Every structure is written in structure tokens, then in C-alpha cells.
Amino acid sequence: MKILVTGGLGYIGSHTVVELVNAGYTPVVIDNLSESDIEVKDRIEKIIGKEIIFEKVEMCHKEEMVAMFKKHPEIKGVIHFAAYLIVNESVNDPLKYYYNNLVSTIYLLEVMQEFNVPSIVFSSSCTVYGNPEELPVSENAPIQPAVSPYGNTKKMGEEILRDTAHAKDINVISLRYFNPIGAHESSIIGEFQDGPPHHLVPYITETARGLRQELKIFGNDWNTSDGTCVRDYIHVVDVAKAHISAVERLINNKIEHNFEVFNLGMGVGVSVLEMVNAFREATGISIKYSFAPRREGDVEAVYADTTKANSTLNWKTEKTLTDAMRDAWNWEQALMNEQKN
């Protein structure tokens, strides 16, 4: 059975493509290659030991999507990752984000209806909860106004999908990711950085490698156990596997509502200082850090109530924070070796 994966050469997309193949599905990978490299296709193929179907498609050109669906009539479901995701960039160039992330989703939904493909898994984010009043945060927590255009595209994306699911023959599972980290245990795929990293773990691994002098920890005066922000970090392979559970729930008609939402996290809050310690415990490397002012738009603490995903999606995390740190460091070293050669 063919499953369309948009943005399938990106960080979470590539890991999900591997898990789809492991689970016996045939992914049809589309990507416009604006934020990814075609070389990721070769990397995926190296892991799975066979070729994958890839089409370079610009989702904001509807005719390209129509042509792709025509070419692959066996597509039965969609996993939609393709989106821009750099928070700062979205603040400086909001229209780029609203156009790309929302127009692509609208066209996708239109074309899915045209080709009678009713099932879609959407990449959402815990950013929709803002600074939650209650922790751990459950799917019933109120949605907060977004602090960035990027966050707003996730919030609006969910609204577009929810309204379409109510009105049309479309079933949606929206997965709200907390903080995906780590890499495939083969160290063949992982998160690629284009310039200084935007996220904590790549910053830690690049500091350990000597590419960065030190980690600047954004704030040590938050109202948390050690004063640094608290997040819910989850191994990217566990995130990828949740997509298989979600897609199976949709295509096997197990859904109870035509718009369902699940949190994907470990369910544990970990501070930035605890992350630095976890990296040391997993790798034996102590990185240099100093405290810097708070980063604009950061929330103090957010971690997931994963009860619903565990019971309803029949999914739970298999990897630990130590696994994630070890895999992130192995990936960084693999990149370093490739760049040397």
C-alpha cells in the first residue's frame, strides 16, 4: 500500500520513511528540496537496502500535485511534514511562512478529495499550547495565541484540517510533537544543520565537536527546579513510529472522530541543565556553557501528558534520553567524518 509522505527528505520525514518501509508500506516521497538535499534519498536507501519512490514536487503548484496523484493511484493515505519551521525567520518573513505552510496544506486537501484519498496525518507542534497553565499538558488544554508566524501556521493548519474534516470526507490525525531529538541508530540519517543550529541538542553536539565555543543557556531565572527551561525531549525514531500507528488507525477505520489530536512526547520534563548532564552521562563529554538572557518567545516549561497517545494510538516511546543523546552524538561524529573526507 502506498503512503504519500510530503517533506519526506526532512528530519522527521526521513526517519518516518524508514519506519514505513520497515512496517511493510511503500512510501511515495515528495519534497521540493528547498530545505533538504536529494542525497537524503540515497541515505534512506542505504538503510532500507532498496530504492524508494521519490518525486520532486512543489506543493504550492497544485498541478504538480495533481500529476503526482495521477501517477500513483495506489496512494491510500498521506503523512504531511512539508513546512518551513525556523521561528526567527518566520517572524522576519511571515508571508513566506503563511504562503508555504498553508497554501500547500490547502492544495493537498483539495487534491486528496479529487483522488478520493481520505486519510491524513499532520505534523503539529506543542507550540500550540503556548505556556500551559497545567503540566503535564493534555490534548484538552486550551490552544494559546501563537507567539510566532511559524507557530501560527501550525495552529491555523490544525484549524483548516479540523474544519475540512467536519465538512468533507477527510479524516485527520494531528500529531503534536514536543521536542524531537537524536538520529537513526545507523548514523546514516539525522538532522542536518544549515549554519548555526536553531535547537538545543544540535547546539550541544556542535559544541562537543568544537564547532561552537560554548552553549549559551537562555535564562537561569525561570521558575523551574534549576532555573532553566523545561521541555519534553523525544527520540525522533519514536516520533517516526507514532506516524505508522496513526496512519494505520486512519486506514483501518479505527478513528472515533474525523479529527483527532495526540501528543507525542516522553511525558517527562527535562531542564536545559539536565540535558547538558544527560549528554555528559551518555557520551562522557562535558560541554562548556554559560548563562545568557532569556530568548524571546520561549516558554518556561512544557511537557506532555501522553496517556491518550499511549492508550488510543497503542504507541509508547521505546528509547531513552540516553539513547537519544548517544545517537545525536554518533550522528554528529558521522557528519564530522564525512566532512573530513
Smallest separation (angstroms) from ligand UD1 to the CB of 198: 6
Query: Is the Cβ–Cβ distance between 25 and 5 less than 8 Å?
Result: no
Applying CB under 6 A, which of residues 57, 79, 108, 229 lies at the interface with ligand UD1?
229
Binding mask 268-307 for ligand UD1 (x = CB under 6 A): ----x----------------------x-xx---------
Select 43 or 197, whichever has its Cβ closest to ligand UD1: 197
Instruction: State in angstroms the smallest separation of the CB of 88 from ligand UD1.
Output: 7
Determine how many CB atoms are found less than 10 A away from the CB of residue 168: 14
294 is written with which cell numbers? 532569556
Residues 149-168, one symbol each (x = binds ligand UD1 by CB under 6 A, - = not), give: --x-----------------
Cis peptide upstream of residue 118 (ω within 30 degrees of 0): no
Considering only residues 59 to 88 of the shown chain, the ones binding ligand UD1 according to CB under 6 A are 85, 87
Asked if residue 4 lies in contact with residue 28, where contact means CB atoms within 8 angstroms, the answer is: yes
Yes or no: say if 151 and 159 are a contact pair by the CB < 8 Å rule: no
Q: Letter for the amino acid at 322?
A: T
Cα-Cα end-to-end distance for the chain? 39
Cα–Cα distance for residue pair 232/158, rounded to 1 Å: 21
Candidates 46-54, 59-67, 198-206, 234-242; binding stretch for ligand UD1 (CB under 6 A): 198-206
Q: Does 231 bind ligand UD1 (CB under 6 A)?
A: yes
Q: In the complex, what is the shortest distance from the CB of residue 275 to ligand UD1, in angstroms, rounded to a whole number?
A: 7
Secondary structure (3-state) at 174? strand
- Which CB atom, from 217 or from 237, has the smaller least distance to ligand UD1? 217
Which of these, 53, 70, 72, 75, lies nearest to 1 by C-alpha position?
A: 75
Residues 113-132 that bind ligand UD1 (CB under 6 A): 125, 127
Catalytic one of 150, 177, 203, 303 = 150
CB closer to ligand UD1, 120 vs 229: 229
Answer yes or no: are the C-beta atoms of 312 and 262 closer than 8 Å: yes
Give the number of other CB atoms < 10 A from CB of residue 142: 11
Smallest gap from Cβ 149 to ligand UD1, in A, equals 11
CB of 243 vs ligand UD1, minimal distance in Å? 16
Are the C-beta atoms of 231 and 304 separated by less than 8 Å?
Answer: no
Who's near 163: CB < 8 A, 6+ residues apart?
none
Residue 107 bears catalytic tag: no
* Interacting residues with ligand UD1 (CB under 6 A): 85, 87, 125, 127, 151, 179, 198-200, 203, 215-218, 229, 231, 272, 295, 297-298
Which residues are the active-site residues? 150
